Structure 1
Amino acid sequence: MEQTIDIQTPTGKIYKDRAIWVGTFLGGPLAAGYLIAENFKAFNEFNKAKKTWIYAIIVTVVVFGGVFLIPDNVKIPNQIIPLIYTAIAYYLVQHFQGQNISAHLDSGGKLFSWWRTIAVSLIGLAITIIPILGFALLSNETSNIGADTKTYGIMKHEIAFDKNNISEREVNKIADGFIKTTFFDEAVTKFVYAKKVNKNYELSISVVDGLAFDSQALQPFLDLRTGLQTLFPNNKIIFKLVVDNLDNVVKTIE
Structure 2
Amino acid sequence: MGGPLASVYFIKQNFSATNNHEGSSKTLTYGGALLVALLCILPFIPEDFPTLPIPLLFVFLTKVLVEKYQFDKDAIEKDHTLTYHSNWRVFFIGVVSLIVFMAVIFIQLLMMESLGIITLA
| TM-score scaled by length of structure 2 | 0.82
Q: How large is the RMSD of aligned CA atoms in angstroms?
A: 2.1
Task: Tell me the residue number matched to 1:27.
Answer: 2
Q: Please give the residue correspondences for 1:146-185 in structure 2 after superposition, counting only pairs within 5 Å.
A: none
Task: Tell me the residue number matched to 2:38.
Answer: 63
Mapped contact 2:43–2:109 kept (Cα < 8 A): no
Structure number with the bigger relative contact order (C-alpha 8 A, sep ≥ 6) is 2
Helix, strand or coil at the partner of 1:111: coil
Task: Tell me the residue number matched to 1:93.
Answer: 66
1:159-199 Cα distance to aligned partner (Å, 9 max, x none): xxxxxxxxxxxxxxxxxxxxxxxxxxxxxxxxxxxxxxxxx
Measured after TM superposition, the shift of residue 142 of structure 1 is 4.2
1:129 aligns with 2:102: yes
Mapped contact 1:27–1:120 kept (Cα < 8 A): yes
Larger Rg: 1
Q: Distance in 2 between matches of 1:141 and 1:71?
A: 20
Task: Tell me the residue number matched to 2:93.
Answer: 120
Which segments of 5 or more consecutive residues in structure 1 lack a partner in the other structure? 1-25, 147-254
Task: Tell me the residue number matched to 1:106.
Answer: 78
Helix, strand or coil at the partner of 1:98: coil
Mapped contact 1:29–1:57 kept (Cα < 8 A): no
1:50 aligns with 2:25: yes
Measured after TM superposition, the shift of residue 139 of structure 1 is 3.1
Task: Tell me the residue number matched to 1:168.
Answer: none
Q: Distance in 1 between matches of 2:106 and 2:60?
A: 26
Task: Give the 4+ runs in structure 1 shifted more than 4 A.
Answer: none
Task: Tell me the residue number matched to 1:77.
Answer: 50
Which segments of 5 or more consecutive residues in structure 2 lack a partner in the other structure? none
Task: Tell me the residue number matched to 1:233.
Answer: none
Task: Tell me the residue number matched to 1:41.
Answer: 16
Structure with more strand by fraction: 1
Q: Please give the residue correspondences for 1:138-217 in structure 2 after superposition, counting only pairs within 5 Å.
A: 138-143=111-116
Task: Tell me the residue number matched to 1:197.
Answer: none
